[in-house]
Structure 1
């Protein structure tokens, strides 16, 4: 395979130590960085991807998992971009195992939120009959990031949002003291409020959410 070595080489050549330190600090020093800012990273990535398009298209899952095993965060971002593009309309049922692995590996909000909306959300659009089982399992997990993903997976659903399901998940986790859970509840409700503000307002008024969740949920409702 040529794609991954070429990508690592290009990122190494364009690394910036000062940026890397700042980026790592922003992520609570959970990850190492090459120090390449988003626009430049995407430019380099697109060039290397174009040069190795067939290799990536033929092996998106394997390449993405390998990139996700690397220590630099920029490579994790590239892994997700590959999957989002190549798996759209091409999911197989077994991909839920890949999605779950990505959620619980190198977990932080910057990747988990992308996975929840663009991978888990799209997967369950293709396999809607899997929704109850998958979301129940994620929501009941002891892994906080799986819980957050269960709350957020409908972010792009708009009028197709299953609000009863969203409400039940919010109710289940509303007493959580985890910042990322409280924030996710508010974010998911705020997003659906763009489609149905009255329903969200009514739910919040009787659900006794944590203050952070309530504030986020009602942020754009007048």
Structure 2
């Protein structure tokens, strides 16, 4: 499919975000999202727009922009353009009750993974779009393919993408992906794994305890700390000090 090089809706969204940009945020965000040489967000560019403002722009435009047009925005070199495009995509998915349209949105999401290249871009949409779609349509293979990818962002999408499953009381996919990627070398995966285990524990404490008792000794410290954050202090210390 060929896309137009320019589009009024896309240009309006970019202009709206430029108006909302704050110089102090534009200076802070590159440090916060690790854009220095050799860091995980190397080379990313920021306008300096706060997330709540991006959500407002997305809410204003999501019915006025097509997927073809959205492809231009999500491919932008500016982080806020990509994140706003993702917020628009989430709204389109959540507001649609048509399975065919939802499937088209999921295909769009999967075809534009290369632009979801930082943790907020991954976490904001993967469970609201892909995770929900996989749960409702028994398409766990889509998440599983990402979990086996060599790309760290894809692996994080798979783990965080199971959040919808966890919220629905289904934990096996989360445990599968966390275990598969438990010893991944990057701290961002340790945090994601621990975060989803913690969420599982919030929903079903026994599931978390059973998983911890099998795996906590081999967990990276960051993963363990995230996973046990909501446990009572005595039990937390038992895990941290290896007394279980």
Given the two structures, how large is their TM-score scaled by the length of structure 2?
0.78
Aligned to 2:48: 35
Structure-to-structure mapping, 1:143-222, within 5 angstroms: 143-158=151-166, 160-207=168-215, 208-222=218-232
Aligned to 1:110: 120
Against the structure 1 CA distance between its residues 15 and 164, is the aligned structure 2 distance closer, same or farther, given a 3 Å change threshold? closer
1:100 aligns with 2:110: yes
C-alpha separation in 1, matches of 2:119 and 2:165? 20
C-alpha separation in 2, matches of 1:54 and 1:147? 31
The answer to whether the 8 Å contact 2:135/2:164 transfers is: no
Q: CA deviation at 1:152?
A: 1.2
Q: Which runs of 5+ in 1 are unaligned?
A: none
Aligned to 2:90: 84
Regions of 4+ moved over 6 Å: none
Q: What CA RMSD, in Å, does the superposition of the two structures yield over aligned residues? A: 2.2
Q: Give the number of aligned pairs.
A: 213
C-alpha separation in 2, matches of 1:54 and 1:109? 26
Q: CA deviation at 1:167?
A: 1.5
Against the structure 1 CA distance between its residues 41 and 138, is the aligned structure 2 distance closer, same or farther, given a 3 Å change threshold? closer
Q: Which runs of 5+ in 2 are unaligned?
A: 1-6, 36-40, 233-244
Q: CA deviation at 1:185?
A: 0.9
Against the structure 1 CA distance between its residues 199 and 35, is the aligned structure 2 distance closer, same or farther, given a 3 Å change threshold? same
Structure-to-structure mapping, 1:21-32, within 5 angstroms: 21-29=27-35, 30=41, 31-32=44-45
C-alpha separation in 1, matches of 2:12 and 2:220? 47
- Name whichever of 112-121 and 30-39 sits farther off: 30-39
